[in-house]
Amino acid sequence: MDPLQEILRQVVGYVYPNEIELHWGLLIVIYPYITGLVAGAFILASLVRVFNVRELQPTYRLSLLTALAYLIVAPLPLLAHLGHPERSYEIFITPNPHSAMAMFGFVYAWYLTVVLLLEIWFDYRKDLVVWSQQPHGWRRWVHRLLTLGVTDISAQSLGFDRSAGRFITIIGIPSAFLLHGYVGFIFGSVKANPWWSSVLIPIVFLFSAIVSGIALMLLFYLLGTLLRSKAVDMACMDKLAMFLFYALVLDFSLEMLDFIHRLYEAEESIHILSLLVSGRLFLSLVILQAFLGTLIPLLILGLISPALRRGGMVNLPDELRRLLYVGSAVLIQIGIFSTRWNVVIGGQLFSKSLRGLTVYKMQLLGMEGLFAAAALLILPLVLLLVLIAMLPPWAEAETHPTGA
């Protein structure tokens, strides 16, 4: 059966002809998901630099590199969706301050160059100088290039690096909020769409970004430690899990507040939205996002949280605790991705007349297809491996730099 005929067969109620095909597909789902990981990873790093959470020190540099890898890939889904990426430079030479979408280019450039790259450079500068003095290996030439000719590693110079890095991190926290909050702002400002139009949407996006970033770093830290055959720092894991639990509680509370507010308003759209939730989005919203991605991780992390274990409620072996942490982090990633899916795709599944539902058919091939989306999700992992090879984030690399 032709894909268009299949869509028409599943249309329910009255739908305008221009509402049968969804304009925003899987690539636009991936875009807010990736930017959320960037913001979440950077905010986790700021807990070490600004708020001096020493237990999270093993994840600090890894969080910065993860944020950089995902930030490099962040605009690619948008560029692929627009179809003419070679024209993207025009938003810089002909800026439009009245367009939230156009201003993303400036937010992105600010966050990449002024915040993230500068913080990484100041944090790594001493190590880059030391690594560039290794007698052998091609990496020393890369490290020498990255020093930008600044080879002074005196106590005064290193003190300036620390002060500058801390100042940039403080600037970076609201910048991270702006980077991902603007995505929620775009959806929340669409007044004509009752699924998107909510003042809480930017805030929900922010806290879900923090949740997804912490969960991702928990997975990356554990995987990186095990692959290097090093001992896992359980104090770090416990602290990651504790912050993950608190962030998830706040995110869930905000989502429930938004849901209750919509029910209380009970506008004319409530009927079509209830049909949407109980029908088209039942699997992705109720099962994946609410049950598997939120309630189960909340229950697991709540029972084995360090704060609760101090009260003597649960005291599990380290191996079992790590396994539960990993399972919760994986479920949370599924839930956050489902959240992005439900916002982007779900907001386009009902008609503007509020009298009908359409359906989204995912492609396998093509620029908007599943394979292209999977490639965009894999690409940051490849970039992260390259960054780790060039700039090892591990503690032993700082004190004992290895030659290439």
Please tell me the predicted confidence (pLDDT) of residue 314: 55
Encoded tokens for 52: 């001096």
Contact 7, 20 (CB under 8 A): yes
Contacts of 206 (CB under 8 A, 6+ apart): 39, 177, 180, 181, 184
pLDDT of 6 > 90? The answer is: no
Task: Flag whether pLDDT at 26 surpasses 60.
Answer: yes
Query: How far is it between the farthest Cα atoms of the chain?
Result: 73
* pLDDT higher than 70, residue 353: yes
- The encoded tokens of residue 120 equal 């990484």
pLDDT tens, position by position, 258-314? 888 877 776 677 787 888 888 888 999 999 999 999 999 999 998 886 655 554 445
Cβ(207)–Cβ(251) below 8 Å: yes
Return the domain boundaries, the chain. 26-189+364-404
Over residues 186-206, the pLDDT tens digits come to 887 777 778 887 888 888 888
Which two structure tokens, joined as six digits, stand for 312?
């003597």
What is the identity of the amino acid at 180?
A: H
pLDDT in tens, 84-104: 888 888 888 888 887 777 777
Three state DSSP letters for the chain: CCHHHHHHHHCEECCCHHHCCCCCCHHHHHHHHHHHHHHHHHHHHHHHHCCCCHHHHHHHHHHHHHHHHHHHHCCHHHHHHHCCHHHCCHHHHCCCCCCCCCCHHHHHHHHHHHHHHHHHHHHHHHHHHHHHCCCCCCHHHHHHHHCCCCCCCCHHHHHHHHHHHHHHHHHHHHHHHHHHHHHHHHHHCCCCCCCCCCCCHHHHHHHHHHHHHHHHHHHHHHHHHHHCCCCCCHHHHHHHHHHHHHHHHHHHHHHHHHHHHHHHHCCCCHHHHHHHHHCCCHHHHHHHHHHHHHHHHHHHHHHHCHHHHCCCCCCCCHHHHHHHHHHHHHHHHHHHHHHHHHHHCHHHCECCCCCEECCCCCCCCCCCCHHHHHHHHHHHHHHHHHHHHHCCCCHHHHHCCCCC
What is the reported pLDDT for 210?
93
Per cent of the chain over pLDDT 90 is: 41
Of residues 187 and 216, the one with the higher pLDDT is 216
